[in-house]
């Protein structure tokens, strides 16, 4: 009976050790999501120092999107990036839409995408008054895409990613802050269906089970 208990304890200990090693290996290889920033943003129609009426009637929005891959072991394959821009607090009617073609990003690399898109539906006079008042007028930029990671010699399945952020534009038609505006996700990060706390709880529970059968 004692031998059976010892054998069972050894089996449980071995299985747990192998599982724990696999978990830590998976965590070490698990890639981090890329980060998105709006580095520059210019709206000529809001530039009060524009030299002519034609420039002030230019409803094009010019911006630079920065994507940072922080992973030292994983490249990223992006599907088409879909950008949506809103004005003010109205998130039901976008004022501009743009698609950026798919591309690949290397390990620990940055990618810059400089784009221009025509806006429609912006209340320009109200936006100019807001910009001139000193607080600036706000545009919300959203980016949605599907991406895959290349880890060593294989590619992961596609993961959905959706981020957004507010860009404040001043009376010169420029982004009011020098620093890039980080786009963030409103949904919590999940770890294979479990939160990080849940994974820790499972590991700690496994350790207690292993100690129980060791005695």
User: Which CATH number goes with the domain that contains 111?
Assistant: 2.60.40.10
Residue 25 shares a structural domain with residue 121: no
Which of 168, 165, 167 lies closest to 135 in space, CA to CA?
168
β 35-47/181-183 pair status: antiparallel
Going by C-beta distance under 8 Å and a sequence separation of 6 or more, which residues neighbour residue 141? 38, 41, 63, 83, 84, 85, 164, 165, 166, 167, 181, 183
Residue 36's Cβ-count burial label (10 Å; 0-12, 13-18, 19+) is: buried
pLDDT value for 6: 61
CA distance readout (Å), 61 to 40, 66, 122, 168: 10, 16, 11, 13
Residue 1 shares a structural domain with residue 98: no
Residue 203 shares a structural domain with residue 135: no
Residue 26 shares a structural domain with residue 69: no
Residue 21 shares a structural domain with residue 65: no
Four-residue CA torsion sign, 201, 203, 208, 209: positive
Within the chain, which residues score under 50 in pLDDT?
A: 20-28, 188-202, 209, 211, 213
Residue 74 shares a structural domain with residue 143: yes
Residue 14 shares a structural domain with residue 117: no
Residue 124 shares a structural domain with residue 18: no
Residue 22 shares a structural domain with residue 65: no
Q: Count structural domains, the chain.
A: 2
pLDDT value for 34: 97
> Angle formed by the axes of helices 196-214 and 2-29, to 10°?
160
pLDDT value for 188: 43
pLDDT value for 55: 67
- CB-CB contact of 149 with 156 (8 Å): yes
Residue 112 shares a structural domain with residue 73: yes
Residue 118 shares a structural domain with residue 206: no
The whole model's pTM is what?
0.75
Alpha carbon distance 197, 178 (integer Å): 36
Residue 104 shares a structural domain with residue 125: yes
- CB-CB contact of 41 with 172 (8 Å): no
pLDDT value for 205: 52
pLDDT value for 14: 54
Number of neighbours of residue 137 by Cβ within 10 angstroms: 25
Number of neighbours of residue 13 by Cβ within 10 angstroms: 15
Give the domain extent around 17: 1-30+192-215
Q: What is the pLDDT of residues 42-66, one digit of tens each?
A: 999 999 887 666 667 899 999 999 9
């Amino acid at each position: 009976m004692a031998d059976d208990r010892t054998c069972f304890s050894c089996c449980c200990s071995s299985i747990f050790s192998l599982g724990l090693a696999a978990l830590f290996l998976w965590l070490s290889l698990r890639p981090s999501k890329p980060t998105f920033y709006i580095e520059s943003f210019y709206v000529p129609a809001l530039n009060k120092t524009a030299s002519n009426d034609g420039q002030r009637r230019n409803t094009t929005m010019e911006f630079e999107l920065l994507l940072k891959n922080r992973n030292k072991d994983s490249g990223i394959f992006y599907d088409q990036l879909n950008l949506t821009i809103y004005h003010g607090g109205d998130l039901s009617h976008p004022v501009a839409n743009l698609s950026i073609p798919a591309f690949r990003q290397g390990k620990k690399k940055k990618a810059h995408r400089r784009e221009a898109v025509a806006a429609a539906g912006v209340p320009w006079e109200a936006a100019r008054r807001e910009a001139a008042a000193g607080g600036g007028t706000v545009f919300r930029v959203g980016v949605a895409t599907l991406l895959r990671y290349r880890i060593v010699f294989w590619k992961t399945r596609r993961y959905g990613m959706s981020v957004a952020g507010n860009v404040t534009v001043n009376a010169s038609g420029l982004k009011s802050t020098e620093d890039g505006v980080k786009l963030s996700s409103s949904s919590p990060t999940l770890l294979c269906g479990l939160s990080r706390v849940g994974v820790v709880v499972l590991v700690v529970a496994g350790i207690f089970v292993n100690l129980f059968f060791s005695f």
